[in-house]
Structure 1
Amino acid sequence: MTNPVYLALDIAQLDPAVELARSVKSHVGGIKLGLEFFCAHGHHGVHEVGKLGLPLFLDLKLHDIPNTVAGAMYAIHALQPAIVTVHAAGGRAMLEDAKAAAGKDTRVVAVTLLTSLDERDLVRTGVSGSAHDQVLRLAELAQLAGLDGVVCSGHEVAAVRSQWKDGFLVVPGVRPDNGAAGDQKRTVSPREARDAGADVLVVGRPISRAEDPLAAARAIEETL
């Protein structure tokens, strides 16, 4: 992969989203489309962004009973996503069925722990131990289930890489040095994440909300 940066196109309006993606396409490696975009525009919106010719990452975070998740995977075959997310917390059977139902060229990666959560949030949901330990537990589960990799923060990616040598590791919540964290609690810079073993770096607001998105995307690319 020549450019590991995927632009998180978390914009509800289709035309501005496509225009933003078009304006920075030469300085990113792919486009991540999340729930906000998918719920607003569905398959049509994904097809429109796909016309730009960049790999598409459908960040749908599927989490349901195994049969339902498998059905959802079949339903997006026509979109030919490069990457799709499921929640590792859905359990091994769900993860196995998700991978079995995915398109042959689609990487299925499991979300371990959202980067908006920390240890206090874990305790409130009944999970003991550190965020680091929880990520490693769920990464091991995803590996056993035959998935391609996981989503984890830059704080854990080195440990996951050590545990899963050939895993495909996606790091969200990436912020340039001195960038605003927003609602993310466990952030790292693009260079730090890449050096720690990330294959994909998800960058959203530092590009999409910049005064000059093209300059912002170019500046991030230059750090890599």
Structure 2
Amino acid sequence: MNPSIYLALDFPAWEEANLFIERNGLQGVPVKVGMELFYREGPAVIERLKENNHEIFLDLKLHDIPTTVMRAMRNIATLGVDMVNVHALGGSEMIQGAKEGLLSGSHSSSRQTKLIAVTMLTSMDQAVMNMELLIPGDLQANTVHFAQFAAENGADGVVCSVHEAKQIKSVCGPSFLTVTPGIRLMDTENNDQKRVATPQFARENGSDILVVGRSVTQATNPKQAYLQVLQEWGNEHELKS
């Protein structure tokens, strides 16, 4: 999987998402489909995006007992998305079950959906982790720990903040994917993300795949904002103006 910029389609319905893509000339860019859009449209939205040649990160963050997650992943495998994720906090057996479901449900030996584990949400900081979740220790150390046991149990990569990506690479190996949301251009707001970074900082700190949302979708000129992300990341060739 080549380094890419996934555009978060955080829209309430397909009509709004498709209109945004068409109006701004973003056909064919890699996209992230989250709970809001998927729960409204279901698998049909994945088929429509695949018909338009979009790579797809299905961001459902599954977190349940291992058998339930395994069966859910068996169904998700038939959609043929590029990546799907679970919460690492679900534990090793759940991650193993997710991988088993993806492998058993896939109809293609050449194109397997990558299993990505969410470490700590980028909306969380040290205080939330320690005081609300009652998870002791350092945020970065815990994130690296989650990444390591996710790798040991079949995950192909993790969702993490840019600030942990380099250390995760050093522990889990260069082929272990680091998917980093919380990407912001210099002139945009952090909103509810606490551990954010620019595309250039991400590139220099071990990120393989970026997820960018409001910096593009709420920009005055979304296509120009996406091109700016590509330029800072160093992949201007991915989208032709």
Same fold (TM over 0.5): yes
| Equivalent in 105, 115, 121 of residue 114 of structure 1 | 121
The one-letter amino acid paired with 2:59 is D
TM-superposition CA deviations, 1:175-207 (whole Å, max 9, x none)? 112321000000011111122111110000111
In structure 1, the residue matched to 2:212 is 203
In structure 1, the residue matched to 2:12 is 12
TM-superposition CA deviations, 1:110-133 (whole Å, max 9, x none)? 000000000111111110112101
| 1:68-107 paired onto structure 2 within 5 Å | 68-102=68-102, 103=106, 105-107=112-114
In structure 2, the residue matched to 1:172 is 181
Rounded to whole Å, the distance in 1 between the matches of 2:200 and 2:75 is 36
User: CA 1:164 to 1:3, structure 2 compared with 1: closer, same or farther past 3 Å?
Assistant: closer
| Equivalent in 202, 207, 230 of residue 193 of structure 1 | 202
- 2:27, 2:52 within 8 Å by CA — same for their partners in 1? no
Per the normalisation by structure 1, the TM-score is 0.95
The one-letter amino acid paired with 1:79 is L
| Equivalent in 148, 155, 160 of residue 152 of structure 1 | 160
| SS in structure 2 of the partner of residue 198 of structure 1 | coil
- 1:207, 1:213 within 8 Å by CA — same for their partners in 2? yes
User: CA 1:88 to 1:183, structure 2 compared with 1: closer, same or farther past 3 Å?
Assistant: same
TM-superposition CA deviations, 1:71-96 (whole Å, max 9, x none)? 11111223101000100010101001
The one-letter amino acid paired with 1:203 is V
Rounded to whole Å, the distance in 1 between the matches of 2:157 and 2:91 is 15
Rounded to whole Å, the distance in 2 between the matches of 1:177 and 1:164 is 30
Rounded to whole Å, the distance in 1 between the matches of 2:186 and 2:150 is 31
In structure 2, the residue matched to 1:25 is 26
Structure 2: 5+ residue stretches without partners: 234-241
| Equivalent in 133, 138, 142 of residue 130 of structure 1 | 138
Provide the identity percentage.
Answer: 36
Rounded to whole Å, the distance in 1 between the matches of 2:28 and 2:72 is 31
The CA deviation at 1:24 is: 4.3
| 1:32-43 paired onto structure 2 within 5 Å | 32-43=32-43
The CA deviation at 1:50 is: 2.0
User: CA 1:92 to 1:3, structure 2 compared with 1: closer, same or farther past 3 Å?
Assistant: closer
The CA deviation at 1:143 is: 1.0
Q: Number of paired residues?
A: 223
The runs of 4+ residues in structure 1 deviating greater than 4 Å are: none
TM-superposition CA deviations, 1:144-178 (whole Å, max 9, x none)? 10210111001111111111122011001111123
- 2:114, 2:156 within 8 Å by CA — same for their partners in 1? yes
The two structures, once aligned, show a CA RMSD in angstroms of 1.5
Rounded to whole Å, the distance in 1 between the matches of 2:36 and 2:182 is 17
The one-letter amino acid paired with 2:63 is H
| SS in structure 1 of the partner of residue 21 of structure 2 | helix
- 1:27, 1:217 within 8 Å by CA — same for their partners in 2? no
The one-letter amino acid paired with 2:229 is I
Per the normalisation by structure 2, the TM-score is 0.88
In structure 1, the residue matched to 2:149 is 141
In structure 2, the residue matched to 1:65 is 65
Rounded to whole Å, the distance in 2 between the matches of 1:182 and 1:27 is 27
